[in-house]
Structure 1
Amino acid sequence: MDIFFEIHKELPREGPGDTESTLKALSFVPEIREDGRILDIACGPGMQTIDLARNTKGTIEALDTHRPFLEVLEEKIREAGYGDRIKTRNHSMFHLDYGEASFDLIWSEGAIYIIGFEKGLKAWKKFLKPGGHMVVSELSWLKKKISKSPQAFWGKHYPGISTISKNMKIIEDSGYVPLAHFILPKEAWWKFYYRPLIRRIEKLRVEHQGDGKWERSLDEELEEVELFKNYSSEYGYVFYVMRKIE
């Protein structure tokens, strides 16, 4: 059993985000028509996938490597009646095999860090139609001077974290026109991610009391939560909206 996935089981989201932020990012993208295609990369349990379906007319392919996340999303799809518009796929972002210019919009919330911000933008660009749009949220430094604790933590867990200005430069150098960017509100970290995660950790701590491996993993998760409590002004998730240069 993978301890990480067991800790994150049944969470509403697998990272910071909320419907309001998803829709704000979507507002910078031209209307997706009925014949439009959207790819949601690393969709997790798919809260944003359903939001996209409710607010566009196109079809969506939701992709993730963790089958249990897709099963949660598939239940949401059935409940919402979107079976004809959303298809799930158990597949890796590292090995996308779609035809070139397949999608009008590529979306990825809180997940492009897995492949790397620059690498993802460059690797996925060919799957966008000319003039197509890419929307991603990425962990970013919000200040020039960063305290030692977040530097040490993210230096270990995500050494690729960068500033907004550097990410904007990467966007331009990767063949996109940047259209908008904005910082996710702090509550977007808490409502659907950290608060449910804390409750999950409390439950698992009782179930696995005395198991050193479990206790260390749970402590590491809480370390991230405590870090955000103390340093949320120095880093956060940023939505980046861009258009592929034709």
Structure 2
Amino acid sequence: MSIFRELTEGLPRQAPGSAAATMRALGLIRGLPDQPRILDVGCGPGAQTIDLARATNGWLVAVDIRQRFLDELTERAAAAGVLPQVTTINTSMFDMDFADASFDLIWSEGAIYIEGFAAGLAAWRRFLKPGGWLVVSELTWMVPDPPAAAAEYWARNYPGMGSVERNCQLVAEAGYVSMDGFVLPVQDWWNNYYEPAERRVEELREKYAGDADTLAMLDETSREHDLFRAYHEAYGYVFYVMRKPAG
């Protein structure tokens, strides 16, 4: 098993988030049908997929490139009693080939960065029915001049990271309306994401105590956690809620 797989598999989430945040974002949507068709892009192990299935009584298509995450989602959905509502598809978000106007709602927590914020907004729009909704969470600068250490780190790891103002401009340029959203609470980074990841890092440090290359990778993971601990006021995840025009 690769060190990346060992770092990520079996964790509650693959990005900051919580059931409360998912429900808050869902609450900003109006006019969904009684059983909406929902596409969850980059679903990971599917915590939000299950929350959406329970809350909407909808039919969900969950897409991820890693089969192990889809297997975890299947296990969790079965335990939650929503498995009949969930279809998993192992494919890249770049290769999605759904029919135009297939979904009432497209959801993506912490994954649109893979395609790029602007590119994802543009590419996924055709899958929405007229009047359909798109909800994404995206890593975002909260201040105009972020601290040098944070700016340098994210320039290397996510050079496309934008401000709230810039991302809202991109939403409008992509042809969406009814923009709304909120900043993810700091505890949603720690409770279900960084704290479990930190415990995993410590386990792997013991396992690979003599492997300098692996320890260096683990140090880089810890650096990300330390940066957010120090500079969480400078950046965070933002939920962006938008609608494809009905006309």
Instruction: Give the TM bin, normalised by the shorter chain.
Output: over 0.9
The code of the aligned residue for 1:39 comes to: L
Is the 8 Å Cα contact of residues 13 and 192 (structure 1) preserved in structure 2?
Answer: yes
The code of the aligned residue for 2:122 comes to: K
* 1:165 maps onto 2:169 in alignment: no
Is the 8 Å Cα contact of residues 31 and 56 (structure 1) preserved in structure 2?
Answer: no
Is the 8 Å Cα contact of residues 40 and 61 (structure 1) preserved in structure 2?
Answer: yes
Moved over 4 A (4+): none
In 1: Cα distance, 2:157 partner to 2:132 partner = 32
Query: Which residue matches 1:12?
Result: 12
In 1: Cα distance, 2:17 partner to 2:83 partner = 24
Query: Which residue matches 1:239?
Result: 239
In 1: Cα distance, 2:5 partner to 2:41 partner = 18
Q: Give aligned-pair identity as a percent.
A: 47
State the Cα distance separating 1:179 from its structure 2 match: 2.6
Query: Which residue matches 1:144?
Result: 144
TM-score of the superposed pair, with normalisation by structure 2? 0.97
Query: Which residue matches 1:101?
Result: 101
Is the 8 Å Cα contact of residues 178 and 242 (structure 1) preserved in structure 2?
Answer: yes
Q: Per the alignment, in what secondary structure is the counterpart of residue 196 of structure 2?
A: helix
The code of the aligned residue for 2:157 comes to: H
Is the 8 Å Cα contact of residues 28 and 179 (structure 1) preserved in structure 2?
Answer: no
Q: Per the alignment, in what secondary structure is the counterpart of residue 121 of structure 2?
A: helix
Query: Which residue matches 1:27?
Result: 27
Shifted more, 159-168 versus 33-42: the winner is: 33-42
State the Cα distance separating 1:35 from its structure 2 match: 4.1
State the Cα distance separating 1:9 from its structure 2 match: 1.6
The code of the aligned residue for 1:193 comes to: Y
Is the 8 Å Cα contact of residues 171 and 178 (structure 1) preserved in structure 2?
Answer: no
State the Cα distance separating 1:31 from its structure 2 match: 4.9
State the Cα distance separating 1:245 from its structure 2 match: 1.8
Taking only aligned residues, the RMSD between alpha carbons, in angstroms, comes to: 1.0
In 2: Cα distance, 1:31 partner to 1:204 partner = 47
The code of the aligned residue for 2:216 comes to: R
Is the 8 Å Cα contact of residues 142 and 163 (structure 1) preserved in structure 2?
Answer: yes
